[in-house]
Amino acid sequence: MRTIIALTLVLSLAAAAFAQARKPAGPNPGQSIAGASKELDDALQGNDAMLQTAGRQILSDLSKGIDLTSLTDADYALYAQAAVRASLMAGDPTGAMRIADAWVQRNTDTPDPRALRAEIVARMAEPQARGIEIYMGMLNKPPYAGYKPWLDYITPLTKLGGRQPAIALPLEGGATFKTETMGASAAVLYFWALAPAGEKAAAEDLARQNALLTKFGPAGVTVIGINLDDAAAAPAAKKFAADQKVQAVQFYMADNPAACPAPKTIPVMAVPTAVVLGARGRLMFAGDPRVPDVAPVLSCALFEIQQQQQDAREHRGGEGFMQPSFSMAAPDPNVAEAAAQKLYDDGLNQAILGHATHNNVILQKGLDSLRKCADQYPTTKYAQQAKDKIQQYTQ
């Protein structure tokens, strides 16, 4: 916990170093950059989870009447940061990488550290998470000595980029959040603590969780707060979360240290830390949620899921109608029981998880599995249980 306290203070300084003022773009590039930056802020702060259209519009606006070669370093930084985040919003991490690459190449001897950070964020969102270590190495040089604490914090997290961390997190109501069963869904794990951060910072963390749930919950994103206070501080943290009326479901490390994904599975060294998981639990972002990267990466994750679902539908349609094959042998009742149990267990867990996290999309997925259990295996013992649970969660 002392490590978390120390690094949290250091990270606050690093976050301030990475932050930028929203100053006007100046007369040379006109109002395009400033206007696009405002569009970006408005889209990120609004309640619409589907940011792809906004991202494409911002990129279009940034391409109008701007001679990149004539921009000052300050204006180019404004342009590039907006363009990288807009590309992620539009579901194009490769495009975000290209923009970040150009920003890095603008000064090959000593690139802007924000450009290197943009490279890292874009590459973590990309499916193969390629080349992250190159830019981590560039930041680990004398000109960037001031970023060493941030580098120490982010390095172990970036090693998870593109991977599926093995997480099985028990939640209230008996639900378990599992990365291996996420399928076509996305999630945010938001690590926070009261004791090292203080009430003001903790209140901001809980408010961000609520904002993420409000914005992305209707699109099927699960938001889970993971509190890292120890046993002595956890009761105060629980009361504080209740007083703040946090809507995102909470997991408290003090209640079940063995199940907590930090620090063993996800090496969280400071709070706050947010982790974005895309389809099938692939880690697409890990870092400081105070910097506005979580929402663009979530938009990228949702776009990727939409594309995968569309590709699957087109693939099934291309195959045409397949005639079912039948066997003359009597169905094995043990096989039917096993199949029904899997549908029932998966459906019930998703229904409980959706109910606990206020996520109607996950809840409906659970109910669909329960209905399949009841309809496809009516003679098994799980059929009636499935019907009972359907009634319970649809009253």
Give one DSSP letter per residue of 246-304, joined into a string. Answer: --SEEEEGGG-GGG--TTTTS---SSSEEEEE-GGG-EEEEE-TTSTTHHHHHHHHHHH
Which residues have CB under 8 Å from 19's CB, separation 6+?
A: 291
Residue 384: φ, ψ to 5°:
-70, -35
* Cis amide bond preceding 263, omega within 30: yes
pLDDT at 316: 63
| Residue 332 binned pLDDT confidence (cut-offs 50, 70, 90) | low
Domains 168-281 and 336-395 share a fold: no
Instruction: Return the pLDDT at 312.
Output: 76
What's residue 4's pLDDT? 60
Summary count for the chain: helices (H), strands (E): 14, 7
| Digit-coded pLDDT (tens) for 175-220 | 899 999 888 899 999 999 999 889 999 999 999 999 999 999 999 9
Mean pLDDT value across the chain:
86
User: Terminus-to-terminus CA distance in the chain, angstroms?
Assistant: 44
pLDDT digits (tens, 9 = 90+) for 10-23: 455 455 545 444 44
Chain centroid to CA 114: how far? 21
Q: Are 298 and 125 in contact (CB under 8 A)?
A: no
279: Cα within 13 Å, side-chain hemisphere: 14
Which is more confidently placed, 170 or 378? Answer: 170
Question: Taking Cα atoms as reference points, which of 111, 102, 151 lies closest to residue 288?
Answer: 151
- β pairing state of 222-227 and 187-192: parallel
Task: State how far the Cα of 187 lies from the Cα of 7, in Å rounded to an integer.
Answer: 25
Helix 73-89 / helix 113-125 crossing angle, nearest 10 deg:
10
Task: Pick from 30-34, 47-51, 116-120, 216-220 the range whose average pLDDT is largest.
Answer: 116-120
pLDDT tens digits, 89-115: 999 999 999 999 999 999 989 999 999
Residues whose CB is less than 8 angstroms from the CB of residue 387 and which lie 6 or more positions away in sequence, other chains included = 370, 374
Residue 321 has pLDDT above 60, yes or no: no
Whole-model pTM? 0.82
Q: What is the DSSP letter of 377?
A: -
Sorting pLDDT into bands at 50, 70 and 90, what band is 3? low
pLDDT band, residue 160 (cuts 50/70/90): very high
Of the chain, the percentage scoring pLDDT greater than 70 comes to: 87
Q: Answer whether residue 327 shows pLDDT above 60.
A: no
Of 295, 302, 308, 296, the residue nearest 88 (C-alpha) = 296
Instruction: List pLDDT tens digits, range 213-270.
Output: 999 999 999 999 999 999 999 999 999 999 999 999 999 999 999 999 999 999 999 9
Q: Where are the domains of the chain?
A: 6-158, 168-281, 336-395
> In 3D, which of 262, 277, 276, 207 has the Cα closest to residue 229?
262
User: Please, what is the angle between helix 294-319 and helix 113-125, to 10°?
Assistant: 30
pLDDT digits (tens, 9 = 90+) for 348-373: 887 888 887 777 878 888 898 899 88
Least confident range of 25-34, 350-359, 374-383: 25-34
8: pLDDT strictly greater than 70: no
Does residue 324 have a pLDDT over 50?
no
The pLDDT value recorded for residue 339 is 82
Give me the count of residues in the chain: 395
Peptide bond into 127 cis (omega under 30): no
Assess whether pLDDT exceeds 70 at residue 74.
yes
CATH class of 336-395: mainly alpha
Q: What is the mean pLDDT of the segment spanning 285-313?
A: 92
pLDDT at 12: 56
Is the per-residue pLDDT at 71 higher than 80? yes
Q: Please report which confidence band the pLDDT of residue 7 belongs to, taking 50, 70 and 90 as the band edges.
A: low
- Residue 23 is predicted with a pLDDT of 44
Q: Which helix (H) or strand (E) is 324 found in, with range?
A: none
Q: pLDDT at position 246, please?
A: 96
Return the CATH class of domain 168-281: alpha beta
Which pLDDT does position 309 carry in this prediction? 84
What is the structure's pLDDT at 337?
A: 85
pLDDT score at 323: 36
Once rounded to an integer, what is the mean pLDDT over residues 39-53? 89
Q: Return phi, psi of residue 115, to 5°.
A: -65, -40
Gap between the Cα atoms of 19 and 284, Å rounded: 21
pLDDT band of residue 317 (cuts 50, 70, 90) is low
Task: Identify the weakest region by mean pLDDT among 9-18, 61-70, 74-83, 113-122.
Answer: 9-18
